């Protein structure tokens, strides 16, 4: 994503928000699609929607679908829930994850597949009802198949680490597996630690290293584990029962040997101790606040009918219980070797992080020096720009206008000097003790109070002017349903309030910010009461709360003459009307959104267009053109997104396109309006694919559903003349008949 200023991003947030939660690909609204919901977010979590390139900050209840990419930053985490299964995934910090599959297949099986390049996650997957259901997590080395389980997966520094607290994890090598062969099952109380070595996966399955797991896992993962204690216990009790009844078999390659009821009973009791030991280690390692751990344990104890967990009396977890004696020593040696390797990896990571911090500190110093240099250069450039713009503006004025303009400048400068002098006086009048008068003359012979001077607070109101549709001479008539207000204010002005009535009912208040290069603030104000006379009222306010006198100016809104330019938004295509009615399967269609006759006062910096299409036409969210010769926006200083949402009632897809400018040409920050539009210009070209696999002819229409244009002041341009005549089309499965 292009780096933009925070202010610019905030200005476009309102416009973009309406489509963030509804940007779906064609697959996302297909009949077999499923969805995931963001349950909670902590820190910075970014989402890139399928087919797009722009990152959006994740928010609670945000809908995610197949093809979406998730990235968490340091100290951040996000909890997702698959809607129809209620499976939960807690994604830890510094994680890159991709939702590769989230569909329901023709056989009824529900496929949930995640691809994790780096990072960690905790999963809570309910028992999969259908034999064809799948829940998989793919890492660079292995594919982890989950069936009704709770566990943890981490990929870091080329090392894959996974463990199970309940259920079974089937670990299978990827195609490019670096020499690994075969697959391995990881059972409750076991872990698998895959290094860059060859050999069978089962060689790397060992009992859980509690200390290593707690030390490596993010706090959010430990917390989710402790909220699932009762579920883990119930699943492990069922696992022990199923093995005892013969309903489940244990793969001997895992190292487990549970062929006696006595060994099974010990194994089950040891699993109960496992969770208590993880909680105790989290407490000792200060992974979570002690109060949080204790509350989670108390909540679990209230829900269980079995043994309660007492963190002051935790029975030790025995990693040898259930192990085949013939492989027990080898597993212990393997576990010790993996533990040492894990510690070595963590130490390497710590050293690398310290080196990155050192480099970042040096880089930060360089950036700060460069920032100061650019700030000074921008300040100088702005002063030159304002001076040049002022000179150009004065040259365009008549002699009378020039005199008025220069007088206004002198008045503003004098007001500024008076304000500065008053501030200095107020500072000089600060009392030094309770017995000293605060300004003015001395008291009389009878001990009277001092003269003028008061308490020293700011009581001087700001001053300014108001003009309509011209910076020096207000216009008296208009044929537009809005006006441009030119408001000046003294240097202490902080707020401006505007209304079309003297009582200021329904008024709007804004921060007073002068238009770049000028001594006034431009504000677009709508005329909402139809044709007639309008008087606009303005009052200013400073930081101390002082309000100016009310300034007003009047204008008449009258009906325009024939031929007056009208702002239009319409659809055009690269097909003739006849060609649209004879489209063939496999063809493509370019659909243009064109704008025309937007005057200087109509300029905008953000646009949102909704277009409805019926069957037979399909849009790829990543395939559109919106910059280059003939287009309104400059791709170097704008961001855009195209989404698609299916309306099952109207049986049509609604394409939602949004574009926003983020900075002015030649300056560092601030959105920029597009130029005035005097000839037809393209906002965007949508590249549509034509499909019809049915026997008959598919037909429909393309229509504009909604258009939103917003200028840099945040005002919405209304009463647009949009194309109301739909573009009719027919799609044939073969040659036209």
For the entire predicted model, the pTM comes to 0.46
Residue 556: pLDDT over 50: yes
Query: In sequence order, which ranges of 246-324 are alpha helices (DSSP H)?
Result: 261-284, 290-303
**Which range has the top average pLDDT, 135-139, 143-147, 416-420?**
135-139
Task: Give 675-688 pLDDT, tens digit per residue.
Answer: 888 888 999 999 99
State how far the Cα of 271 lies from the Cα of 266, in Å rounded to an integer: 9
Q: How many CB atoms lie within 10 A of CB 424?
A: 10
pLDDT at position 33? 60
Angstrom distances, CA of residue 733 to CA of 612, 691, 694, 696 = 22, 8, 6, 7
State residue 650's pLDDT score.
66
For residue range 225-241, what is the model confidence (pLDDT) as tens digits? 999 888 898 899 999 99
Query: What is the rounded radius of gyration, in angstroms, for the C-alpha atoms of the chain?
Result: 35
In this structure, the number of other CB atoms found within 10 A of the CB of residue 670 comes to 17
Question: To the nearest whole number, what is the mean pLDDT of the chain?
Answer: 79
Q: Which of 49-53, 573-577, 655-659 is least confident?
A: 49-53
pLDDT interval class at 38 (50, 70, 90): very high
Say yes or no to pLDDT of 437 above 60. Answer: no
- Degrees (nearest 5) of the Cα angle 509, 511, 516? 130
Does 221 have pLDDT greater than 50?
Answer: yes
Report yes or no: 196 and 177 within 8 Å, Cβ to Cβ.
no
In this predicted structure, the answer to whether residue 494 has a pLDDT above a threshold of 90 is: yes
Calpha distance 58→37 (Å, rounded) = 10
Cβ distance 660 to 671 under 8 Å? yes
Q: Quote the CA–CA distance of 84 and 240 in Å, as a whole number.
A: 28
Range with the poorest average pLDDT among 49-63, 436-450, 511-525, 562-576: 436-450
Range of weakest confidence among 301-315, 388-402, 472-486: 388-402
d(CA 620, CA 560): 42
Contact 339, 212 (CB under 8 A): yes
Whether the per-residue pLDDT at 12 is higher than 60: the answer is no
> Which strand (E) or helix (H) includes residue 107?
none
- 652-661 and 638-647 strand pairing: antiparallel
């Amino acid at each position: 994503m292009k780096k933009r200023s925070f202010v610019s991003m905030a200005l476009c947030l309102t416009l973009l928000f309406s489509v963030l939660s509804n940007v779906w690909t064609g697959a996302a609204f297909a009949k077999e699609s499923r969805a995931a919901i963001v349950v909670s977010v902590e820190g910075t979590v970014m989402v890139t929607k399928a087919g797009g390139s722009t990152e959006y900050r994740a928010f609670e209840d945000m809908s995610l679908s197949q093809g979406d990419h998730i990235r968490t930053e340091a100290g951040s985490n996000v909890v997702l829930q698959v809607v129809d299964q209620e499976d939960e995934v807690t994604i830890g910090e510094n994680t890159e994850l991709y939702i590769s599959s989230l569909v329901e297949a023709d056989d009824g099986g529900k496929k949930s597949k995640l691809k994790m390049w780096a990072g960690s996650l905790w999963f809570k997957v309910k028992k999969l009802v259908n034999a064809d259901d799948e829940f998989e997590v793919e890492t660079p080395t292995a594919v982890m198949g989950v069936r009704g389980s709770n566990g943890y997966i981490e990929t870091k520094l080329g090392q894959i680490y996974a463990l199970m607290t309940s259920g079974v994890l089937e670990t299978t090598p990827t195609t490019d597996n670096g020499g690994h062969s075969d697959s391995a099952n990881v059972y409750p109380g076991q872990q698998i630690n895959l290094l860059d070595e060859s050999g069978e996966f089962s060689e790397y399955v060992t009992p859980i290293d509690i200390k290593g797991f707690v030390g490596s896992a993010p706090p959010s993962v430990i917390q989710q584990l402790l909220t699932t204690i009762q579920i883990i216990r119930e699943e492990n009790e069922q696992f022990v029962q199923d093995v005892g009844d013969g309903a489940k078999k244990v793969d001997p390659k895992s190292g487990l040997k549970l062929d006696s009821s006595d060994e099974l009973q010990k194994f089950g009791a040891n699993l109960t101790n496992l969770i208590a030991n993880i909680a105790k280690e989290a407490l000792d390692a200060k992974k979570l606040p002690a109060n949080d751990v204790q509350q989670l344990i108390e909540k679990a104890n209230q829900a269980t009918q079995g043994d309660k967990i007492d963190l002051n009396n935790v029975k030790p977890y025995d990693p040898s219980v259930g192990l085949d004696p013939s492989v027990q020593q080898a597993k212990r040696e393997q576990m010790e070797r993996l533990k040492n390797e894990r510690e070595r990896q963590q130490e390497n990571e710590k050293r690398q992080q310290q080196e990155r911090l050192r480099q970042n500190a040096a880089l930060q110093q360089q950036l700060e020096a460069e920032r100061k240099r650019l700030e000074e250069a921008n300040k100088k450039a702005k002063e030159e720009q304002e001076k040049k713009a002022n000179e150009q503006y004065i040259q365009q004025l008549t002699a009378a206008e020039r005199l008025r303009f220069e007088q206004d400048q002198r008045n503003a400068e004098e007001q500024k000097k008076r304000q500065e002098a008053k501030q200095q006086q107020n500072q000089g009048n600060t009392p030094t003790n309770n017995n000293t008068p605060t300004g003015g003359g001395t008291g009389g012979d009878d001990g009277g109070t001092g003269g003028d001077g008061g308490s020293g607070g700011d009581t001087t109101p700001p001053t300014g002017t108001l003009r309509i549709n011209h910076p020096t001479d207000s216009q008296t008539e208009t044929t537009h349903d809005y006006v441009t207000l030119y408001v000046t204010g003294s240097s202490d002005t902080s707020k401006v309030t505007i209304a079309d009535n003297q009582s200021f009912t329904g008024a709007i208040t804004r921060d007073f910010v002068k238009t770049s290069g000028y001594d006034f603030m431009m504000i677009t104000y709508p005329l909402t009461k139809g044709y007639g006379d309008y008087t606009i009222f303005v009052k200013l306010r400073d930081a101390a709360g002082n309000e100016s006198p009310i300034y007003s100016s009047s204008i008449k809104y009258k009906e325009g003459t024939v031929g007056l330019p009208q702002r239009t938004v319409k659809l055009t295509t690269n097909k003739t009307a006849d060609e649209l009615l004879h489209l063939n399967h496999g063809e493509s269609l370019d659909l243009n959104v064109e704008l025309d006759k937007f005057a200087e006062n109509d300029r905008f910096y953000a646009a949102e267009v909704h277009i409805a299409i019926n069957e037979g036409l399909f849009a790829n969210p990543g395939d559109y053109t919106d910059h280059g010769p003939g287009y309104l926006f400059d791709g170097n200083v704008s961001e855009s997104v195209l989404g698609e949402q299916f309306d099952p009632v109207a049986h049509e897809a609604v394409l939602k396109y949004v574009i926003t400018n983020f900075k002015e040409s030649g300056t560092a920050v601030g959105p920029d309006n597009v130029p005035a539009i005097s000839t037809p210009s393209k906002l965007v070209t949508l590249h549509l694919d034509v499909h019809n696999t049915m026997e008959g002819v598919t037909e429909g229409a393309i229509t504009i559903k909604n258009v939103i244009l917003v200028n840099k002041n945040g005002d919405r341009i209304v009463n647009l003349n949009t194309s109301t005549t739909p573009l009719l089309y027919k799609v044939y499965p073969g040659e036209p008949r």
